[in-house]
Amino acid sequence: MKRQELKALLHGVENAGEIIDQIMELNGADIENAKKAAGGGNESLNREIERLKGENSNLAMQLKAYEKGGEKYIDAAEFERLRTFETDTLTKQKRDSQSNAVKALLKKNNARDDMLDLLMNGVSLDGVEIAEDGTVKDGDKLVAKLKEKYSAGFAAESGGSGGAPFTPPKSGDSGEGGFNFGFTPIRSMPQKK
């Protein structure tokens, strides 16, 4: 708004000069107030910017602990190696506890000491579940299957020393005293003279 524009508008009005001065004074005050409000808005924005810069520097300091050489730095390859080691160790511990529980079950059910390893080879540890007390769940079924399949591996009385030991057939024996492997003997052919 300019004085000349106001004079043209108020042409012929009495006290036009005073009215124009008052209008210009009020307009100037409004402009100054608007500048102050806008400047104050910038101040609040500047304070927010400074606060965010401080927060950013705090977060950057916290991240330094995770950089290489920092106290919380974790090498990805080493972490993966440790994770694999933990998995392998837990798997081995589980296998060992399963194996020990099955061996205890077999000994409790009169498995022969000299046949224990052979009987263990007949057990799939993947299917063996261990109860909280350390015994084999459904152990009776497992022993029944083993006794059916490997009856010579179990002693008739407790103590683990009975059963039929392996005795190879003697020469000329038909195999009835020991194991008969079912081989047909080779007959000697008369030779031509």
Chain segment 44-64, per-residue pLDDT in tens? 788 899 999 999 999 998 888
- Tell me 143's DSSP state: H
Model confidence band, residue 2 (pLDDT cutoffs 50, 70, 90): confident
Q: Are 101 and 128 within 8 A, CB to CB?
A: yes
Q: Are 174 and 181 within 8 A, CB to CB?
A: no
pLDDT at residue 171 is higher than 60: no
pTM: 0.45
Query: What is the rounded CA–CA span in Å between residue 190 and residue 69?
Result: 88
Model confidence band, residue 127 (pLDDT cutoffs 50, 70, 90): confident
The predicted pLDDT at position 176 comes to: 47
Of the chain, the percentage scoring pLDDT greater than 90 comes to 23
Q: Are 116 and 107 within 8 A, CB to CB?
A: yes
Which of left, alpha, beta for 35 (phi over 0: left; psi -120 to 50: alpha)?
Answer: alpha
CB-hemisphere CA count at 13 Å for 176?
1
Non-local (6+) Cβ contacts of 27 within 8 A are: 1
- Tell me 71's DSSP state: T
Q: Report CA-CA distances (Å) from 38 to 28, 67, 190.
A: 15, 43, 126
The predicted pLDDT at position 31 comes to: 84
The chain-wide mean pLDDT, for the chain, equals: 80
Query: What is the rounded CA–CA span in Å between residue 155 and residue 148?
Result: 13
The predicted pLDDT at position 45 comes to: 83
CB-hemisphere CA count at 13 Å for 122?
19
